Amino acid sequence: MALTDFSMLELARRLAAGETSSVEAVKASLDRIERLDKKVKAFLLVDARGALAAAEASDARRRAGTAFGRLDGVPVAVKDLFCTEGLATTAGSRILEGFVPPFDATVVRLLKQAGLPILGKLNMDEFAMGSSTENSAYFPSHNPWDLTRSPGGSSGGSSASVAARLAFGALGTDTGGSIRQPAALTGTVGLKPTYGRVSRYGVVAFASSLDQVGPIARTVADAAALLQLLAVHDAADATSATTMAPDYATRLDAGVAGLRLGIPREYFELEGLDAEVRAAVEAAAAAYKAQGATLVPLSLPHTKYALATYYLLAPAEASSNLARYDGVRYGLRVPAGGLREMYAQTRGRGFGAEVKRRIMLGTYALSAGYYDAYYLKAQKVRTLIRQDFAAAWEEVDAILSPTAPTTAFKLGEKLDDPLAMYANDVFTLPCSLAGLPGLSLPCGFSRAGLPIGLQILGKPFDEATVLRVAQSFERAHNFVRAPPLGEG
């Protein structure tokens, strides 16, 4: 078994036992990246020098008996949406070319403080706007299960790096499904925590009332271990919750006997749900029932409005957040005859088509005469969606659904149809609008051999139950496998 095939916690155990070293793990990852990332294209930047230096320091701590914690020395990678001191941060956009932050995002700092070497920055849809990583200004990433298909988005580089065994774990962000959807398409575990559970300080903003940082890993236990590092209050982020995170490992193996798991009717009636995906998720629900859980039929009646609501609110917030990119302070600047012309030329050349589309949608929704009809009404519907879930929690402990309506689609298949692309997030958007925790884990494979994702939704700040439910299925029906990625 290759060193890169171990999970984060398996590697951590071997590091603690002295059976391998962090330097060996980093070198194994860098070698695999060198051989295979020309196919997968998960990385925008590889920081070999920084990762090896961190690994050497970790090994020295292990020898001295002063390891920072269980994951000290385990190599990971991060989405290029996180500020990294001394390393370029592009957010997948030309408009941030040349931007090298003078500080680390809080989550990057937490990884470093825990001793995890960071292998580099991962590809993404520009400013996290997309569901396929094809909106990256640099190149699309490829799904390790089928290199002609998308790994999902916007954290497609994160999911692809973990699935392809290029990194032991990764961080992504989830605004409307950008951790969970790519996890489903690549057979990995992706967790979006409750809004406010993890700091957003130093994360390039897309939609500030929706963006959340979370882990993508190979196993549920790995995702729990990564979340444990990140789930701390941060005074630098005004939206950071003061709610203390529990020890997620304590109840991870408690099983589901006695738990009530909701099955929302609307999620299984939505047009476009693939028959194989539906069958796999229904089989997973039956497996939970066999383990002692009670399946409870639910109605979340405002689900059908989630897609429209999200694509009013998120672009509106994006149009405000992205106004700061003007060529004056950092990033791309296109010289022009006057200030207004410089703004126009810089933004015209620096932003991609999808980002421009969403800026225009958001600006229109916020404009005088349309604010009440669009943005304000969308906020009211968001409240109704949140109330649907609040009522559901009176009856159930967690909710089961598909993560994505289909398995991984062909690269280029949906580029000319934005509405079809947006529909990839139809099952993940309601959770984001309500600020809830949600997790995707593999629950089967299609006849074509492509992974299928099961989504588990939980109560606010109850990631522990979400992880417990996920672990119960993974332990009994383990679909964690390495993709058939050629070594050439």
pLDDT digits (tens, 9 = 90+) for 355-370: 999 999 999 999 988 8
> What residue ranges define each of the domains in the chain, with the CATH number in brackets?
3-242+249-259 (3.90.1300.10)
The answer to whether the beta carbons of residues 227 and 214 sit under 8 Å apart is yes
The answer to whether the beta carbons of residues 298 and 392 sit under 8 Å apart is yes
The tokens describing 65, both together, are: 């008996």
Q: Coil, strand, or helix at residue 86?
A: coil
CA dihedral 189, 184, 145, 118 (to 10 degrees): -40
The tokens describing 206, both together, are: 């897309």
Q: Beta strand 260-264 with 294-298: parallel, antiparallel or unpaired?
A: parallel
Could you say which DSSP state residue 94 is in?
A: G
The tokens describing 279, both together, are: 């069958």
**Comparing C-alpha atoms, which of 403, 402, 463, 401 is closest to residue 437?**
463
Q: How much is the average pLDDT of 176-199?
A: 98
The secondary structure element, H or E, covering residue 77 is strand 76-79
Q: What average pLDDT is seen over the chain?
A: 96
Q: Determine whether 154 is an active site residue.
A: yes
**Position 484 confidence tier, pLDDT thresholds 50, 70, 90:** confident
Considering just the CA atoms, what is the radius of gyration of the chain in Å?
Answer: 21
Residue 84 falls in which region: left (phi positive, over 0), alpha (psi -120 to 50) or beta = beta
Tabulate helix, strand, coil % of the chain (nearest 5): 45, 15, 45
| pLDDT score, position 487 | 56
Beta bridge partners of 298: 264
- Look at residue 486 and tell me whether its pLDDT is greater than 80: no
Q: Determine whether 414 is an active site residue.
A: no
CA angle 396, 398, 402 (to 5 degrees): 125
Q: Determine whether 401 is an active site residue.
A: no
CA dihedral 461, 228, 46, 451 (to 10 degrees): -60
Catalytic residue among 7, 58, 79, 159: 79
pLDDT digit string, tens, across residues 101-153? 999 999 999 999 999 999 999 999 999 999 999 999 999 999 999 999 999 99
Q: Coil, strand, or helix at residue 220?
A: helix
Q: Beta strand 76-79 with 170-174: parallel, antiparallel or unpaired?
A: parallel
Q: How much is the average pLDDT of 322-330?
A: 91
Q: Coil, strand, or helix at residue 118?
A: strand
**Position 433 confidence tier, pLDDT thresholds 50, 70, 90:** very high
**Comparing C-alpha atoms, which of 163, 204, 57, 242 is closest to residue 442?**
163
| pLDDT score, position 149 | 98
CB burial string 193-211: b at 16+ within 10 A, e below: bbbbbbbbbbbbbbbbbbb
The answer to whether the beta carbons of residues 30 and 46 sit under 8 Å apart is yes
Catalytic residue among 178, 199, 240, 401: 178
**Residue owning tokens 């957003």:** 200
Could you say which DSSP state residue 155 is in?
A: S
Q: Coil, strand, or helix at residue 174?
A: strand
Q: Give the total residue count for the chain.
A: 488
The answer to whether the beta carbons of residues 44 and 92 sit under 8 Å apart is yes
**Position 1 confidence tier, pLDDT thresholds 50, 70, 90:** confident
**Comparing C-alpha atoms, which of 82, 77, 216, 89 is closest to residue 153?**
216
**Comparing C-alpha atoms, which of 359, 354, 360 is closest to residue 422?**
354
Could you say which DSSP state residue 96 is in?
A: G
- Look at residue 283 and tell me whether its pLDDT is greater than 70: yes
Could you say which DSSP state residue 397 is in?
A: S
Catalytic residue among 7, 22, 154, 446: 154
Name the pTM for this structure.
0.97
The answer to whether the beta carbons of residues 466 and 459 sit under 8 Å apart is no
- Look at residue 488 and tell me whether its pLDDT is greater than 80: no
Q: What percent of the chain has pLDDT over 70?
A: 99
Say how many Å lie between the first and final Cα of the chain, rounded.
Answer: 18
